[in-house]
Amino acid sequence: GTDRPLAGRRALVTSGPTYEPIDPVRYIANRSSGKQGHAIAAALARLGAHVTLVSGPTREPTPPGVTLVPIETAVEMLAACRAALPADVAVCAAAVADWRVAEAAGQKVKKTGGAPPTLSLIENPDILATLSAAGPDRPRLVVGFAAETENVVAHATEKRRRKGCDWILANDVAPETGTFGGDANTIHLIDAAGVEHWPTSTKLAVAERLARRIDAYFGEGKA
Ligand code: PMT
């Protein structure tokens, strides 16, 4: 019915941080709380979509009707996303670590009194770029986020082109904005037609607006 316009659609949402191990007890992570990604999964499910939520560790409850696939690392997140295909729409809201420790230690690294250890990093796979280039498996609509601290729209426009996604939701994550971990967000949505500046609102309202826009996109017969 019209109250569940996304019924029959499959959605994949990534959320939260990734944890990249240094040794069995230590890891590299970031400040993502999962609030924005989980709210998007919830909003898509309320519109009737079948939602797979691939998430790093968060304190957020799993939204009703959503299938959670918990992961820790970027490599695990990519594998879980591939396994969730095919999907009509993918929304990548996770804050994936760009790098991981090249060779995580098998045992706890000990303080020996000598020089502190040096971490050598290697690049993680880019999940958004991989989904955007997935050939016949590519979701018909791929939506990314861009977390920026300066020149937000310019950097996000370049990121959209480089990663090959359809829409990118740019948000300012400078510390004073409170975007990481907070309840509010200010979005600049960039698509092929240009930029929409959304008023500052709750992450729940951002999620609701995005879900409605995704529904409108499918409704227009563009995909
Ligand atoms: O979790 P919250 O506390 O609610 O905060 C929400 C948020 C700020 C984390 C969220 O709104 C957000 O901006 N998510 C993207 C964070 C990010 O890492 O952005 P980025 O500009 O580094 O990456 C750009 C895009 O590529 C994102 O869609 C990201 O999910 C994706 N990416 C990045 C690296 C990588 N290895 N794989 C990816 O898929």
Look at ligand 1, atom 26, and give the residue with the nearest C-alpha.
128
ipTM of predicted assembly, 2 dp:
0.99
Atom nearest to 148 CA in ligand 1: 21
Active-site amino acid positions: 30
Number of H helices, E strands in the chain: 5, 14
4 lies in some domain: no
Q: What is the pTM of this model?
A: 0.97
Asked if residue 180 belongs to a known ligand binding site, the reply is no
Q: By C-alpha distance, which of 9, 28, 12 is closest to 20?
A: 28
In a domain, 5, yes or no: no
Length of the chain: 223
Each residue's pLDDT, cut to its tens digit, for the chain (223 residues) gives 578 999 999 999 999 999 999 999 999 999 999 999 999 999 999 999 999 999 999 999 999 999 999 999 999 999 999 999 999 999 999 999 999 999 999 999 999 888 999 999 999 999 999 999 999 999 999 999 999 999 999 999 999 999 999 999 999 999 999 999 999 999 999 999 999 999 999 999 999 999 999 999 999 765 5
Domain assignment present for 187: yes
Q: Specify the number of domains making up the chain.
A: 1
User: Is 58 inside any structural domain?
Assistant: yes
Domain that holds residue 211: 10-106+119-219
Q: What is the CATH number of the domain that holds 14?
A: 3.40.50.10300
172 is in an annotated binding site: no
| Interval between CA 92 and ligand 1 midpoint (Å) | 7
Domain assignment of residue 114, yes or no: no
Ligand 1 centroid, distance to 53 Cα (angstroms): 14
125 has binding-site annotation: yes
Residue partners of 53: CB distance under 8 A and separation at least 6: 13, 14, 15, 37, 38, 41, 62, 63, 66, 67, 68, 69
